[in-house]
Chain A
Amino acid sequence: MLKSLAAALVVSAAMLGSIRAAAADPVTITFRFNDTEQEVRGAIDEFQKENPDIKVDLQRIGWKDARNQFLREAAVGQGPDVQHSAQVWVTEMGDAGALLPLDNFLKKDPPSNGFADFVAQDLAKGKDGHVYGLPWTTDTWAMVYRTDLLKQAGIDKLPQSWDDLRADSAAVYKKTGKAGFGFPAGSSASGAIWFLANFYWWSHGKALIVQKADGSYALGVTVDDVADAMKYFKQYMDGGDNPQSNLAASDAHDPSIMQALVTGNQAMGAMPPNTYKEIIKAYEDANPGKPVPFVSAPFPHPDDTKSSMFGGRMLVINANTKHPEQAWKFVKFMASEQVFAKYYRTQFPAQNSLLKKIDFGAPLKGFAEQFEYARTWGPYASGPVPIGTMWNLTDRAFGTALSGQSKPEEAAKGLLQEIEKQMAAKG
């Protein structure tokens, strides 16, 4: 009898202990982030301090692999709880069943100022109307100039049109021997020339993909429009003011381009603000005390057209998460004002109320002005062809034209035929 009692006591004590231990153990959620750890480390530490019952395991992955890796994992019930996503991926990932709808969270426990305060809401929704992502950051691309090189080339006014830009770039190369407008012209499924080509079309009142009044999608450019853009950018390669080696550069933050701007071997570039900030920092580190010889400005455009995009990131929750409440708590925290004010300073918040409070400062003035002439990807993201496919096809078609593998007209025709084929196949 005594033995049984003792055994029961031991078992009870063990159970109590394990229950207590379980209660004390924090829930671990995984956050997969595609930029550098230092950008979010402080915010995560703060979140964990405020929520001792939640532990955040930070995983890092490069942008190039982020979406595919997540889709592969989500399809087999795996993957991180919270994923860093490009704004333009959310619709298709939501439609693929990889994401948790956020509608209930937004209703019961909305972020301050509500969902209506966020930009790019159209890109956060799936075709079923559910919200699958919380816009987190926003940015736009703008032109960046090295004022000292422009001065050496006798240029005292920033280019106002695409023709001015071409002439000034050639002038810099001719008069200083340095690269003029050095842009990434690589053939890959990355930023490369995809952005510039679209900015060129948009500023001419065209778009690669348009949505018609009946809701269907169509090409918004002709072979001539595409060939015209190819010929325009080819001039920079043929003239030598964009070095041939940039045919192997795939991103605005390609080290060779960033380095050329920092060292004064290139006068002009096009990039998002975080890349520009890195360039300024690298210049300041290399030249302490010297004034920064950079200015930013919008891409050339007539007053009634757009010439850049509202880009940015969203935070999404994996459909397979076992901790949806904790994941949402984390997502909401990361989008809060305190995170952008204290920790995540390399990006701009995606909430209109917070954007208004930002002092862009003199170097970023051009980016602030560019926001006025920016548009969302809209039909590109909601249309039938995955945006990554269009990046790849466009970059490669431009690559063949710019490297001289084929004539711009042939490359343009091939590009539009392929996109049309894919649009037809996917309805």
Chain B
Amino acid sequence: MRDRLFITTMLLPTVVLLLLFYGYPIFDNLKISFTDLSLLGMKRGGNWVGLANYRELFRSGDLGHILFNTFIWLTATSVILRLLIGLGIALLLNTRAMKLLRLAAVSRFALLIPWATPPIVAVVIWRFLLERNGAVNEALIKLGVVDHPIAFLADMRTVWPSLVAIMLWNTVPLIALSLLSSLQTVPDEYYEAAELDGATNWQKFRFVTLPFLMPAMLVLGLMSVFWSFNNFVYVWLATGAGPGTYTNVLATEVYLKAFIDFRLGYSSAIGMVMAVIMGAFGILYLRLVARQQLEETL
């Protein structure tokens, strides 16, 4: 009993701080989402409209398209590709050949460059590269792949793959380097034992490497979901949610409604829906990762 009281007392300041820093803004946002507050009427405040903003959001004809973009392109596609490419790069960097050629250190350093590039700079660089007279189009034309420049960020066939490519360029290095550090913790004895048992390379990867990497991949995967799902910068800076509304996602919709249409109440309702979805991912994260870590610690 005394222990429990001690633990509660020790945790109290942290809990209070968390409530202040996270709880209050969420509560405030929830409150605004039940009003018609406008950016032009912030001094006056908003009128209570109950669930009207939520009703409008769920009845909106655009919601399906926005959710599809957010879940499928922005989150699922980018996260899966990020993990696969990151894993591939980590495995490559961990090969004996790379070590023998003394390329491992150079490659790791090279990987740090895109990772250290701020997203805004990454998007600007890629916009230049992908534009009509940009390096990518020039290369494709010179190689005879295409006759005319491709409007990568304006053509519906190429805009999402281009956006995902920009995100991957900027974020894969972190995944690759994290997985590389996990790879280096796999004891050589395991591989030697597998070899003695006649395991093929694929079997060594499947039954030795992968189980070792799974905890890290799980954490990185879930963290990537958080980073991607909420991401605003890549889409907004690269396409402005266009052409038309083709690349509009929840985060850009929040911005459009709040700062273009001035509808802070409605925008807050979208933000709350995003928070609920992220909360679900958070629970998943707690169940799959945090609890396991806690149990291991205890």
Contact = CB atoms under 8 A, between A and B. Distances in A.
Interface of A: 68, 71-72, 75-76, 92-93, 95-98, 186-189, 240, 243-248, 250, 256, 259, 265, 386, 388-389, 391-392, 396-397, 399-406, 411, 422
Given A68-B259, A386-B262, A405-B156, A187 B241 contact: yes
13 contacts: A71-B40, A72-B42, A92-B40, A96-B41, A245-B131, A245-B153, A256-B132, A388-B262, A391-B260, A392-B260, A397-B244, A399-B245, A403-B242
Contacts of B241: 187-188, 396
B39 A71 contact: yes
Contact of A188 (B39, B42, B240, B262): B240
B243 A389 contact: no
Given A72-B39, A388-B260, A389-B261, A187 B151 contact: no
A245 B153 CA distance: 7
Interface in B239-266: 239-246, 256, 259-262
Nearest to A319: B43
Contact of B240 (A71, A76, A250): A250
Given A245-B132, A248-B154, A187 B243 contact: yes
B133 interface: yes
Contacts of B46: none
B119 interface: no
Contacts of B40: 71, 92-93, 95-96, 386
Contacts of A404: 156
B267 to A, nearest CB: 12
Q: Which of A186, A188, A396, A400 has the most CB of B within 10 A?
A: A396
Contacts of A97: 43-44
B215 interface: no
A422 B245 CA distance: 19
Nearest to A259: B133
Contacts of B262: 386, 388-389
A402 B151 contact: no
A418 to B, nearest CB: 10
B260 A399 contact: no
Q: Which of B148, B156, B256, B259 has the most CB of A within 10 A?
A: B259
Given A243-B149, A247-B154, A400 B42 contact: no
B192 interface: no
Contacts of A422: 261
Nearest to A68: B259
Contact of B243 (A189, A265, A386, A400): A400
B243 A403 contact: yes
* Minimum-distance CB pairs A-B, first 5: A187-B242, A400-B244, A247-B154, A75-B42, A244-B151
A250 B154 CA distance: 11
B195 interface: no
Given A71-B39, A244-B151, A386 B261 contact: yes
Interface of B: 39-44, 131-133, 148-149, 151, 153-156, 239-246, 256, 259-262
A97 B39 CA distance: 11
Given A96-B43, A187-B245, 10 more contacts: A72-B39, A186-B240, A187-B246, A245-B154, A247-B243, A386-B40, A396-B241, A399-B243, A399-B245, A403-B244
B240 A406 contact: no
A424 to B, nearest CB: 13
Contacts of B41: 96
Contact of A392 (B42, B246, B261): B261
Contacts of A386: 40, 261-262
Contacts of B148: 240
A243 B156 contact: no
Given A95-B40, A96-B40, A243-B132, A400 B245 contact: yes
Contacts of B155: 244, 247, 403
Nearest to A398: B244
A405 B153 CA distance: 14
Nearest to B156: A403
B243 A405 contact: yes
A404 B239 CA distance: 16
B243 A402 contact: yes
A402 B154 CA distance: 10
A169 to B, nearest CB: 17
Contacts of A96: 39-43
B151 A75 contact: no
A301 to B, nearest CB: 28
Nearest to B263: A389
A75 B262 CA distance: 13
Contacts of A189: 256, 260
Contacts of A75: 42-43
B42 A187 contact: no
Q: Which of B39, B148, B149 has the most CB of A within 10 A?
A: B39
Contacts of B245: 187, 396, 399-400, 405
Nearest to B41: A96
B151 A247 contact: yes
B242 A396 contact: yes
Contacts of A245: 131-132, 149, 151, 153-154
Q: Which of B149, B156, B244 has the most CB of A within 10 A?
A: B244
A248 B153 CA distance: 6
A389 B266 CA distance: 14
Nearest to B159: A248
A243 B244 contact: no
A96 B262 CA distance: 12
B149 A405 contact: no
Contacts of A98: 43
A68 B133 CA distance: 34
A227 B262 CA distance: 27
A217 to B, nearest CB: 17
A278 B236 CA distance: 27
Contacts of B244: 187, 396-397, 399-401, 403, 405-406, 411
Contacts of A243: 132, 149, 151
A396 B239 CA distance: 12
Nearest to B239: A248
